[in-house]
Amino acid sequence: MLFLHAAEQGLIYGLMALGVYLSFRVLAFPDLSVDGTFPLGAAVAGMLVLRGFSPYLALLGALGAGLVAGAFTGVLATRLRIPGLLAGVLTMIMLYSLNLRIMGRPNLSLLGRPSALLGLARALAAPRGYEILVAAGLFAAFVFVLLLLFLHTELGGTLRAVGQNPEMVRALGTNPENLVVLGVALSNGFVALSGALASQYSGFADVGMGIGTIVAGLASVMVGEILLRPRGIFSHLVAVLLGSVVYRLAISLALRYGAALGFTASDLRLLTALVVLGALAAPALRTALRGGEA
């Protein structure tokens, strides 16, 4: 059960991790707006479902809201020349208020309401008990394939070049700023979609559910990189999804057995941040250690 639930969550949150991969790794743009767009997706999809719209339409609504919010961050960072980190923080804070307005209260219960995830699971001829896993896998596969194909198009290839050498892209006749806006929009679209699915999975949307999204996303990206050492785009995307599953599994194990060591659920974010800190600091620490030995 623990493994199954971790895999389900890993795939659902994997969409978010793919979004973070797109902004952080492909565009080299550390985008904090995801902490706001994850609950934004949940809020928009939740309200649409509560108003009687189809849960699939609700997912599209969440995707659209995420795209708009991401484009907003992109425009702040490029046209208005606000440093990327600050642009993301501003969007995130604005979304906190906006999410409360959308929901009208701090949380929504979606229990017993139509859910795209459960609906798809029921419609599938999957082995008993694995329906949700397969449904979550389908959503993850959809975004995975979309992103994989996109990054191999002319436009997507140019987007990759923006993260490595924006000046070159400019010299090749494309304004890199437009691509930053596009990339950050797409990234947040995926994150919002992930938030909507997560709310349908757990049966509630909460204004605080986005706190630490960026750190969890980064942890997934880095865990995947450590495990698979990916080289191409395909293996990178696989690594992100794998990293997301392993990360959720680690969280589940920590919750299950951490209590014996004195950890509580409230320590999770601290632990996650430490994992990311370790991964980020590893190259510097390695150099320092080697320097110390020599």
Partner 1 sequence: MLELLGITKTFALGAERVVALEDVTLALGEGEVATVIGSNGAGKTTLLNVIAGTCRPDRGRVRLAGRDITRWPVHRRAPLIGRVYQDPLRGTAAQMTVLENLALASRKGGRGLGPLVGRRKRQILGAAVAQLGMGLEKRLNERVAHLSGGERQALTVLMATLTRPKLLLLDEHTAALDPANAERVLKITEDLVREYRITTLMVTHRMDQALAVGERLVMMHKGRVILDLGATEKGRLRVEDLVALFRRAGVSDDALLLVQNGACA
List residues bridging with 204 in a β-sheet. Answer: 109
Residue of the chain from 173, 262, 283, 291 that contacts partner 1 (CB under 8 A): 173
Least separation in angstroms between CB 27 and partner 1: 13
**Cβ closest to partner 1, residue 173 vs residue 291:** 173
Query: In terms of Cα–Cα distance, which of 169, 278, 190, 207 is closest to 241?
Result: 190
**Would you say 230 or 258 has its CB closer to partner 1?**
230
Query: Is residue 287 a contact point for partner 1 (CB under 8 A)?
Result: no
Would you count residue 225 as binding partner 1 (CB under 8 A)? no
Residue among 76, 85, 78, 81 nearest 34 (CA): 85
Residue of 168, 259, 280, 282 interacting with partner 1 (CB under 8 A): 168
Stretch of 1-9, 16-24, 163-171, 275-283 contacting partner 1, by CB under 8 A: 163-171
Tokens standing for 183?
């990339």
User: What is the closest distance, in whole angstroms, from the C-beta atom of residue 199 to partner 1 in the complex?
Assistant: 31
Backbone torsions φ then ψ of 80, nearest 5 degrees: -95, 0
Binding flag, residue 234, partner 1 (CB under 8 A) = no
Does the protein bind partner 1 through residue 97 (CB under 8 A)? no
Tokens of 234: 């395909």
Contact stretch for partner 1 (CB under 8 A) within 88-96, 152-160, 238-246, 279-287 = 152-160
CB contact set of 189 (below 8 Å; sequence gap of 6+): 19, 63, 64, 66, 67, 70
Distance, in Å, from the CA atom of 69 to the CA atom of 206, rounded to the nearest integer, reads: 18
Of the residues 12, 89, 121, 160, which one makes contact with partner 1 according to CB under 8 A: 160
State whether residue 239 is helix, strand or coil.
helix
Residue with smaller CB distance to partner 1, 116 or 182: 182
Go through the chain and tell me how many residues it has. 294
Specify the residue, 170 or 269, whose C-beta has the smaller distance to partner 1: 170
Cα-to-chain-centroid distance, residue 179: 19
- Taking the least distance from each CB to partner 1, the nearer of 160 and 248 is 160
Of positions 4, 85, 141, 172, contacts partner 1 by CB under 8 A: 172
Q: Which parts of 166-206 fold into alpha helices (H)? A: 166-171, 176-202
CA-to-CA distance for 53 and 258, rounded, in angstroms? 41
Instruction: By CB under 8 A, name the binding residues for partner 1.
Output: 150, 152-158, 160-161, 164-165, 167-175
